[in-house]
């Protein structure tokens, strides 16, 4: 699903706005609002996607007491005991799960990814199942030191 959010949706967004801009410029008499609207929406979309979508990891694989994270050509294996905090942002699309690391790695000090959809995540005021599972596993690993 990350491919949709990071590649397909932006291509559709910017492509449709480019077509709109092309026809707005060709329309006579030239009107300022339609011509200015497309670049403004492109700029808005760029900043929203940069803040909420393009920082997502491409793939996160569970490997027992560690996670293997891939983002572009970079890959990082991180041990769950090195995770300081698990944050979940549910009021965005896609839902964002952030792992704050004790020490920065190849991908930085935060790993952000979109967890798979879980029906239980639709229950208001409940913890996302994956966030809860990761928190429990991290606590267990830290208590067993």
Do 63 and 134 sit in the same domain of this protein? Answer: yes
Do 132 and 93 sit in the same domain of this protein? Answer: yes
Number of H helices, E strands in the chain: 4, 6
**Segment 40-57, tens digit of pLDDT:** 999 999 999 998 888 899
Do 46 and 82 sit in the same domain of this protein? Answer: no
pTM, rounded to two decimals: 0.79
Do 70 and 138 sit in the same domain of this protein? Answer: yes
- Which long-range contacts does 115-120 make (Cβ < 8 Å, 24+ apart)? 116/1, 117/1
Do 96 and 128 sit in the same domain of this protein? Answer: yes
Structural domain harbouring 115: 59-143
**Segment 105-120, tens digit of pLDDT:** 999 999 999 888 766 5
**Segment 70-79, tens digit of pLDDT:** 998 999 999 9
């Amino acid at each position: 699903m990350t491919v949709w959010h990071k590649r397909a949706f932006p291509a559709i967004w910017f492509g449709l706005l480019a077509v709109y801009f092309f026809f707005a410029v060709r329309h006579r008499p030239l009107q300022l609002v339609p011509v200015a609207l497309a670049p403004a929406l492109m700029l808005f979309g760029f900043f929203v996607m940069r803040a909420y979508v393009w920082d997502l990891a491409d793939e996160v694989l569970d490997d027992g007491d560690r996670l293997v994270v891939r983002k572009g050509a970079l890959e990082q294996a991180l041990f769950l005991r090195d995770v300081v905090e698990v944050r979940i942002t549910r009021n965005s699309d896609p839902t964002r799960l952030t792992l704050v690391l004790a020490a920065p790695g190849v991908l930085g000090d935060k790993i952000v990814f979109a967890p798979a959809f879980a029906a239980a995540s639709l229950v208001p005021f409940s913890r996302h199942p994956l966030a809860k599972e990761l928190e429990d596993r991290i606590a267990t690993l830290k208590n067993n030191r």
